[in-house]
């Protein structure tokens, strides 16, 4: 029992990290114009899934860990808790499947992407994902399809005997439905996604070769930049998929083995390890985005106020300095006043981002948007 306070501290820190990280993802996409793209709707859906897991599932899972599996809230709430857990895990894998399809369309047919991936279709896809996840979680558990005798689990519990021996809230794994659920909601989508990303990387490599061979030199920079942006997004989301596989594959393997052996009481320690490894994926995704995507790093920095002044502020400051620079002498004498070092630095940074700030200032205009 000495380790109980330490376990409580670790679990609570993990829950707070999961919630705060996924809130940050949602805010970053919502407040940053560079991230406000239709493809990131799926990223927000994934973040909402992880956020709901941190809010609705992880606190109860931590309670079970600290109480050695004893459930204090009755059978009905136990079934709801298990259903939410299954639903959010299913929503995660289906969202990742949708992300892989979106990336394939963006890479394989970029000119047709805006016609194929419309806001209405994205909305319908996300709605279908959540509807299907709800159906494969709440319906089977509350109809008893996951039990050996097809009776609804835990409904014979009473609040008065919640602390009796054997009142443990766990998903019963002892029939063929468990195998169908594991293959239908994890292994099959996983195989499809792996095949999809393999096709994506092949198409991306071929596109890079064609662009370099067919694009004129004067237009090559813009085309290469657009293609590179899509490829970086693909690599980022492939890393998210890889993290999902590493975190959840051990649990579903354990889940499947216990279902084959019809073992209703799995080893508690091993079950806790593989389960919380899967939960770790929900805290890992918000870390992967900024680590692999510069736009997310910028948005995170602005939200957390960890960086200096924004680029908009830097441009406006540069504008004021340049406007007040002394004009050339009218008598033909050369102005020998040294240029401001800070102004030169800002101008060099602006030109490195591809902005024509000096031309805007000479025309009397000021930047009104963040450089893209």
Query: pLDDT-derived band of residue 218, with 50, 70 and 90 as boundaries?
Result: low
Considering the domain 4-304, what is its CATH architecture? Up-down Bundle (1.20)
Instruction: Give CA–CA dist 226/236, Å, rounded.
Output: 16
Query: pLDDT-derived band of residue 122, with 50, 70 and 90 as boundaries?
Result: very high
For tokens 């996951």, the residue is 146
Instruction: Give CA–CA dist 329/341, Å, rounded.
Output: 21
Output the six-digit token pair for 116.
């194929």
Q: What is the 3-state secondary structure (H, E, C) of 18-83?
A: HHHHHHHHHHHHHHCCCCCCCCHHHHHHHHHHHHHHHHHHHHHHHHHHHCCCECCCCHHHHHHHHH
Residue 226 has pLDDT above 80, yes or no: no
DSSP class of residue 112 equals G
The segment with the largest mean pLDDT, out of 190-194, 197-201, 255-259, 315-319, is: 190-194
Q: What is the mean pLDDT of residues 58-70?
A: 86
Query: pLDDT-derived band of residue 173, with 50, 70 and 90 as boundaries?
Result: confident
Instruction: Give CA–CA dist 203/262, Å, rounded.
Output: 44
Domain locations along the chain: 4-304, 310-326+338-372
What is residue 319's predicted lDDT score, i.e. its pLDDT?
45
Residue 6 has pLDDT above 80, yes or no: yes
Query: pLDDT-derived band of residue 372, with 50, 70 and 90 as boundaries?
Result: very low
8 A C-beta contact, residue 193 and residue 97: yes
* Tens digit of each residue's pLDDT (9 = 90 or more) over 21-34: 999 999 999 888 88
Query: pLDDT-derived band of residue 76, with 50, 70 and 90 as boundaries?
Result: confident
In Å, how far from its chain's centre is CA 33?
Answer: 18
Average pLDDT, the chain: 76
Q: How far is CA 16 from CA 19, 58, 138, 182, 277, in A?
A: 5, 10, 27, 29, 16
The segment with the largest mean pLDDT, out of 7-16, 174-183, 224-233, is: 7-16
- Residue 172: φ, ψ to 5°: -75, 135
- pTM for this prediction: 0.73
Q: How far is CA 155 from CA 69, 75, 167, in A?
A: 18, 5, 11
What SS3 class is residue 141?
A: helix
């Amino acid at each position: 029992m000495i380790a109980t306070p330490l376990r409580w501290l670790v679990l609570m820190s993990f829950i707070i990290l999961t919630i705060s990280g996924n809130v940050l993802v949602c805010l970053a996409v919502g407040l940053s114009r560079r991230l406000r793209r239709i493809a990131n709707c799926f990223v927000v859906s994934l973040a909402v899934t992880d956020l709901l897991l941190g809010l609705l599932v992880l606190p109860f899972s931590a309670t079970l860990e600290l109480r050695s599996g004893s459930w204090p809230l009755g059978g009905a709430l136990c079934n709801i808790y298990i259903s939410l857990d299954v639903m959010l895990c299913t929503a995660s894998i289906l969202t990742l499947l949708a992300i892989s399809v979106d990336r394939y369309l963006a890479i394989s047919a970029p000119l047709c992407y805006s016609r194929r991936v419309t806001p209405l279709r994205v909305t319908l896809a996300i709605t279908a994902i959540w509807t299907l996840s709800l159906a494969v979680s709440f319906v089977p558990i509350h109809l008893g399809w996951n039990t050996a005798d097809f009776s609804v689990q835990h409904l014979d519990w009473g609040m008065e005997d919640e602390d009796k021996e054997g009142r443990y809230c766990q998903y019963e794994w002892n029939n063929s439905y468990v195998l169908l659920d594991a293959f239908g909601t994890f292994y099959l989508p996983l195989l499809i996604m792996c095949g999809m990303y393999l096709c994506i990387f092949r198409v991306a490599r071929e596109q890079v070769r064609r662009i370099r061979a067919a694009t004129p030199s004067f237009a090559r920079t813009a085309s290469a930049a657009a293609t590179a942006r899509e490829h970086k997004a693909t690599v980022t989301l492939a890393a998210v998929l890889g993290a999902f596989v590493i975190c959840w594959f051990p649990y579903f393997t354990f889940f499947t083995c216990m279902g084959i052996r019809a073992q209703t009481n799995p080893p508690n320690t091993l079950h806790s390890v593989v389960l919380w490894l899967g939960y770790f994926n929900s805290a890992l995704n918000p870390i992967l985005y900024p680590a692999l995507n510069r736009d997310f790093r910028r948005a995170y920095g602005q939200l957390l106020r960890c960086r200096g002044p924004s680029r908009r502020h830097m441009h406006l400051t540069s504008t004021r300095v340049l406007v007040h620079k002394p004009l050339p002498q009218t008598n033909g004498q050369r102005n020998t006043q040294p240029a401001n070092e800070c102004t030169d630095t800002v101008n060099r940074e602006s030109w490195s981002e591809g902005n024509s700030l000096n031309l805007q200032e000479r025309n009397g205009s000021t930047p009104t948007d963040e450089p893209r």
